[in-house]
Amino acid sequence: MQLFTMPIHSSSMLSLLVLLLQILLPTALNHGYNRSEVPALIVFGDSIVDPGNNNILTTLVKCNFPPYGRDFLQHKPTGRFSNGKIPSDMIASALGIKELLPAYLDPQLKPQELLTGVSFASSGAGYDNLTAQIMSVLSLWDQLELFKEYIEKLKAITGEERAARIVSHSIYIVIIGTDDLANTYFGTTLRRAHYNVASYADFLVGSASSFYQELYKLGARKIGISGLPPIGCVPAQRTLAGGIYRDCEASYNQAAINFNLKLSKAVEVLNTELSGSTMVYIDIYTSFLNLIQRPFDYGFMETSTGCCGTGKLEVAIFCNDLNPYTCTDVSKYVFWDSYHPTEKAYKIIIDRIFNDYVHRLI
């Protein structure tokens, strides 16, 4: 049997290639995130997502010195409370926005960085303004004032129309509240004299709802709101309240669970009340507890102490390069210091958050 073949001219080949691209390209894009849909990532919160705003504040709650940043780019301590990257960096990278999310107060911040987002987070902050006052850091409402300033800077750079689009189409992530319970409520008597655990949670959720309403008024529409982790299992809390065996403090964890339940219900209400908004409650309690209860599944061997120093109480200025007990193999640890996870632990949790929640914000 003789086959008849027709020569394909270069112009015909080019047309065929264009046709194939028209068919295949949309399919390929559907497997990733369209960068134009999410112009920027804006973050508010505490030390989990503070890339260095506290560096310029007069506070002891900072970490711009070794061994923090030991596994960061060029082994540089930047003010991130970990050995490497933190969740805000990982989310920005996964969205295809940029590899690192800078601190808004970084003196070296370039104006063009504002177009793709920044973090206003301040280590030691909480929904309760008293929490920030105790630590001499930026309150959540201080962070909101900085966001207003940010919007004006955007307008000056891009004009009002494009600035408004960036604000309304960006994704907002808020991770805060752990310090309210762990430090302000359980760590002092300042709030316990006026609130029991349940009423303090109500107070915090009321403050949270007010904040999200104000953020909405400023133009934010896509907001991911994180709940609290199992704070009773944080190494410092094990040491302070876990008894001789340094067990997870069950009552602290229960307080976090109760707060999370109330916050998630408040987020549902806000979604119905604020037209055009998409507010997503993010459960980090479950994935975090899973790391602690099943560490070997993820290659971890130590969950009750941090890598830095003895890992039982060291954090901030007490986690320093003079401590001879800091571990050499951080990959085996869930926690970097007595309060904050390692980059590896963060990555596992953020991957799960991305799979479960982020698609709802895009």
Residue boundaries of the structural domains of the chain: 37-285
| pLDDT tens, residue by residue, 269-283 | 999 999 999 999 999
This prediction's pTM: 0.90
Report the percent of the chain where pLDDT is more than 70.
90
Please check whether residue 212 is in contact with residue 279, taking contact to mean a CB–CB distance below 8 angstroms: yes
The band of 23, judged by pLDDT with boundaries at 50, 70 and 90, is very low
Residue 104's closest CA among 158, 175, 42?
Answer: 42
Report the percent of the chain where pLDDT is more than 90.
87
| Cα–Cα distance list, 64 to 8, 25, 68, 104, 131 (Å) | 63, 44, 7, 16, 21
Please check whether residue 265 is in contact with residue 297, taking contact to mean a CB–CB distance below 8 angstroms: no
CATH for the stretch 37-285: 3.40.50
Judge residue 359's burial from the number of C-beta atoms within 10 Å of its C-beta, 0-12 exposed, 13-18 middle, 19 or more buried: exposed
The band of 359, judged by pLDDT with boundaries at 50, 70 and 90, is confident
Supply the pLDDT for residue 358: 79
Q: What's the chain's Rg over C-alpha atoms?
A: 23
**Distance (Å, whole) CA 5 – CA 158:** 56
Instruction: Decide if pLDDT at 22 tops 60.
Output: no
**Distance (Å, whole) CA 271 – CA 223:** 10
| Catalytically annotated residues | 47, 337, 340
Tokens 């830095």, located at residue? 308
SS3 305: strand
**Distance (Å, whole) CA 336 – CA 345:** 9
